[in-house]
Amino acid sequence: MIHLSNVEKVYRTDRIETVALSNINVRVEQGEFISIMGPSGSGKSTLLNVIGLLDVPTGGEVTLNGRLITSYGDRSLARVRNEEIGFIFQTFHLINDLSVVDNVEIPLLYRKMSGAERRKRALKALEQVGLSARVHHFPSQLSGGQQQRVAIARAIVGGPRILLADEPTGNLDSQMGDEVMSILKALNSLEQTTVVMVTHDQRQAEKTARIVRLFDGRQVN
Amino acid sequence: MMRHIWKLVWNRKRANALIVIEILASFLVLYAVTLVGVYFAHNYRQPLGFSYDRVWLVEIDWQRESIELQPELEEEKEAAMMRQLLTAVKEFPEVESAAAMSVVPYSNSTYSSGFTWKGRQVEFMFNRGTTDTAQVLDMHLTAGRWFTEADAAGSSFRPVVINRRLARELFGTENPLGQVVKEEQDKVERRVIGVLEDFRKDGEFSGLQSYMFEHATLGKSKGGQPNNFVLRVRPGVTAAFEEKLTGKLRSMAPTWGFEVKPIEQMRESTLLWQLIPLTIFGVIVGFLLIMVSLGLLGVLWQNVTQRTKEIGLRRALGATAGEVYAQIVSELLVVSTFGLSLGILAVIQFPLLKVVDFISPTVYFTSLVISLGIVYGLTVLCGLYPGWLATRVQPSEALHYE
Ligand SMILES: Nc1ncnc2c1ncn2[C@@H]1O[C@H](COP(=O)(O)OP(=O)(O)O)[C@@H](O)[C@H]1O
Ligand SMILES: [Mg+2]
């Protein structure tokens, strides 16, 4: 599905050069459940962004379904992000001026679909994450765990083939973390959704089939 | 999508209220400025009604005694001299045609009059001219005729020539020719014999006014003699003729004063005096406009850059760059339409209440369209540019933006 070979990412600010990733080779295949582990600052989020097509590496190649992503135009890249990828951000990134259900509907706005259909799917996704009682609340009226679940609902509402989650349990207590994990596991086993998850929780990581370990931007095994 | 935009606009009503106010203020300033600009441009494009090319002016000062024992006798003598002088002027080979008139183009003097007409007050500018005045100034008549010698032979009515504006004001769509205009105190009625395209004495930038001409006969007259000659010289006549003409006139009437100058020269100084305040106004307004558009730009800019994160998020969730533009621009259009609607409600009061009645509805409407266009254009530009910047960075970077 998504293959990274010799990927390198260097951030250049005025004088400082940060090598966030170097020589990364990862193959993400359909139906896999992968976790990315490593200490803070080791490049986990950067790697996830590259896999999720939210960022382009400064070196190496990324292919999606056998095609280099640099060959995709803006429209087709947007379509892939919209239809094939669901992204759960570490800091949720909910729009505070929109209600829970309106936030969840956003990915569907960029598809040809009736308003009623959008609403139906958004409510279903919220039900999946157990938030049916909060659909008309605003993000600021929710707890961190509830916000995390809104973010998950938004990531799954479009039925993506691959779900990318950046520390989805990091802000949650262990019980709620387990709940989120079981949602992800269910999606993976029941709907063959590929899941790539960043975590620094060894216990959660062990529940996944494969662990990619990073240290200082490099892969370690 | 439109519903989504409405929700965003509504839920952000506090931030948007600021934009609405800024847009309203900018629009009002812009409208006032455009109105003045369009007003002058509109005036400028209206026909002048005469031509000043090769037209010279002779200003005559009769040097009257302060106490006149027999004013009527005095006037008769003056009139006789004026006739002689005019004949002498016409005899010069340099002169194509000459006439006398009371108020010459681009002069400082004005002569206004008015009367009650069908229950309302009608104001107009007034002037007197001799038989050749229309020919000298190349005045365009749209109907009827100018005065002839036959008119001078004391008829039962006083012939008048009015401009189109006054004709419309007095008679509407009726044919003005032959219509009787009567002032209450008038014993003799005035009858319209001709309609002028216009006669805009103060020149190209002046406002449009109603105008009436009466026949000056250089004889016994009730309203006083005109004390100016206008003459059209032949092509190629130089300033040297000025001396020659003045010399001749002085020799005929040694006690009188004469000043000869081309009307072109008066036109230049008149326009200069009209343009000086306009230029100063223009400079002030220019600064004001810059301030206002910078303010508007700032508010809109801030609104969009604050949303870099949101733009990044939408890109990450699958919006194309085009969809992001469309959304931001639509939102700004919705918000500015709010502000502009308030603005239109405010400025529409001017033509409705007829506060400033010398400005025509066309001018009001044109200014409205122009200023609406500018504000909308500015809004779209403000939305497009930061939107473009935001979509140029990778979604991950935009999401990091603080
Ligand atoms: N936009 C950026 N600009 C500059 N440096 C960055 C940027 N994003 C991340 N980095 C740097 O890259 C390294 C990896 O960051 P990140 O991928 O966020 O690590 P992790 O998610 O594992 O904590 C860090 O040193 C971080 O400071
Ligand atoms: Mg991280």
A14 — pLDDT class (breaks 50, 70, 90): confident
Q: Which atom of ligand 1 is nearest to the CA of A9?
A: 12
pLDDT of residue B350: 79
B387 pLDDT above the threshold of 80: no
Identify the closest residue of chain A to B311 by CA–CA distance: A95
Give B319's contacts in chain A (Cβ within 8 Å). Answer: 78, 82, 109-110
| Distance to chain A for B302, nearest Cα, Å | 17
Residue of B nearest to A45 (CA): B396
Average pLDDT over every residue of B84-100: 94
Contact (CB, 8 A) for A99 and A136:
yes
Check A110 against B310: CB less than 8 A apart.
Answer: no
Residue minimizing CA distance to atom 26 of ligand 1 = A41
CA dist B202 → B45, B162, B208 (Å): 14, 17, 10
B274 vs B198, residue with greater confidence: B198
User: Mean pLDDT over residues B373-388, rounded?
Assistant: 81
Closest-CA distance of chain A to residue B3, Å: 9
Rounded to 5, what percent of chain A is helix, strand, coil?
40, 25, 35
**Which residue's alpha carbon is nearest to atom 4 within ligand 1?**
A11
A49 and B396 in contact by Cβ < 8 A?
Answer: yes
Q: How many Å lie between the centroid of ligand 2 and the Cα of residue B222?
A: 100
How far apart (Å, rounded) are the C-alpha atoms in residues A103 and A97? 9
Atom of ligand 1 nearest to the CA of A40: 23
Strands B120-129 and A85-88, bridge-based pairing: unpaired
Is B348 a residue whose pLDDT tops 90?
Answer: no
Q: Does B393 touch chain A (CB under 8 A)?
A: no
Q: What pLDDT is attached to residue B185?
A: 65
Residue B399 has pLDDT above 90, yes or no: no
CA–CA separation, B31 and B326 (whole Å): 28
Average of per-residue pLDDT across A92-105: 95
In B, minimum Cα distance to A95 occurs at: B310
Task: Kindly state if the Cβ of A44 falls inside 6 Å of ligand 1.
Answer: yes
Q: What is the pLDDT of residue B65?
A: 63
Task: State yes or no: pLDDT of A108 exceeds 70.
Answer: yes
Cβ–Cβ gap B313/A109 under 8 Å: no
Mean pLDDT across B252-273: 90
Give the pLDDT confidence score for residue B326 in this predicted structure.
87
- Strands B257-262 and B55-61: what pairing? antiparallel
Interface test with A, best of B320, B388, B400, B401 (most A CBs within 10 A): B320
Q: Model confidence at B222, in pLDDT bands (50, 70, 90)?
A: low
Question: Which chain B residue has its CA at the smallest distance from A102's CA?
Answer: B4
pLDDT average, residue stretch B353-364:
79
- Dist. CA A195 → ligand 2 center (Å): 17
> Least CB-CB distance to A97: which of B12, B319, B321?
B12
- Asked whether the beta carbons of residue B399 and residue A110 sit closer than 8 angstroms, the reply is no
User: Is B282 in the A-facing interface, judged by CB distances under 8 Å?
Assistant: no
Contact B317 A74 (CB under 8 A): no
pLDDT reading at B279 higher than 70: yes
* Closest-approaching ligand to the CA atom of A38: 1
What is the per-residue pLDDT for A170? 79
Q: What is the model's pLDDT at position B225?
A: 80
Give A18 Cα–ligand 1 centroid separation in angstroms. Answer: 8
Percent of chain B exceeding pLDDT 70 equals 93
What are B126's strand-pairing partners? B212
User: Higher pLDDT residue, B291 or A117?
Assistant: A117
How far apart CA B296 and CA B280 sit, in angstroms, is 24
Mean pLDDT check: name the lowest of A135-149, A165-179, B181-195. Answer: B181-195
For ligand 1, say whether the CB of A96 is within 6 Å of any of its atoms: no
* Contact state of A81 with B397 under an 8 Å Cβ cutoff: no
* CB contact (8 A) between residue B399 and residue A89: yes
Q: Is A40 in the pocket of ligand 1 (CB under 6 A)?
A: yes
pLDDT confidence band for A105 (50 / 70 / 90): very high
- B180 inside 8 A of chain A by CB: no
Question: Could you tell me where the DSSP H helices lie in chain A?
Answer: 44-51, 74-83, 100-109, 115-128, 144-156, 174-191, 202-205
Per the prediction, chain A carries an average pLDDT of: 92
Residue B234 near chain A (CB below 8 Å): no
Bridge-based pairing of strands A85-88 and A162-166 is parallel
Domains of chain A: 30-45+78-219 (3.40.50.300)
% of chain A exceeding 70 in pLDDT: 100
Ligand nearest to the CA of B401: 1
Instruction: Write down the pLDDT at residue A121.
Output: 97
Give the Å distance between the CA of A41 and the centre of ligand 1: 6
How much of chain B, in percent, has pLDDT values that exceed 90? Answer: 43
Q: Please name every residue paired with A218 in a beta bridge, in sequence order, or none if there are none.
A: A215
- pLDDT over 60 at B66, yes or no: no
B200 has pLDDT over 60: yes
- Please give the Cα distance from A171 to B399 (Å, whole number): 19
Q: Which pLDDT value is given to residue B267?
A: 93
Instruction: Kindly write down the DSSP assignment for every residue of B209-241, as one continuous string.
Output: --EEEEE--SSS-SS----EEEEEEPTT--THH
Tell me, using a 6 A CB cutoff, whether residue B400 lines ligand 1.
yes
Q: Which of A131-140, B114-123, B292-301 has the lowest mean pLDDT?
A: B292-301
Q: Is A46 a pocket residue for ligand 1 (Cβ < 6 Å)?
A: yes
pLDDT digits (tens, 9 = 90+) for B14-32: 888 988 998 898 899 889 8
Higher pLDDT, B218 or A127: A127
Residue B67 has pLDDT above 60, yes or no: no
Q: For A37-71, what is each residue's pLDDT tens digit?
A: 999 999 999 999 999 999 999 999 999 988 999 89
Q: How far is the CA of B389 from the centre of ligand 2 (A)?
A: 25
- CA–CA distances in Å: residue A6 to residues A55, A210, B251: 15, 19, 109
Closest CA relative to residue A210, chosen from A196, A189, A220: A196
Q: Does the beta carbon of B11 lie under 8 angstroms from any beta carbon of chain A?
A: yes
* Spatial CB neighbours of B17, under 8 Å, sequence gap ≥ 6: none
pLDDT at residue B47, rounded to an integer: 93
Q: Is A212 in the pocket of ligand 1 (CB under 6 A)?
A: no
Q: Which ligand 1 atom sits closest to the C-alpha of A49?
A: 17
Q: Does B10 touch chain A (CB under 8 A)?
A: no
Instruction: Compute the Cα dihedral for A189, A190, A195, A199 and give only its sign.
Output: negative
What band does A155 get if pLDDT is binned at 50, 70 and 90?
Answer: very high
pLDDT value at position B263? 92
pLDDT digit string, tens, across residues B240-258: 999 999 999 999 999 889 9
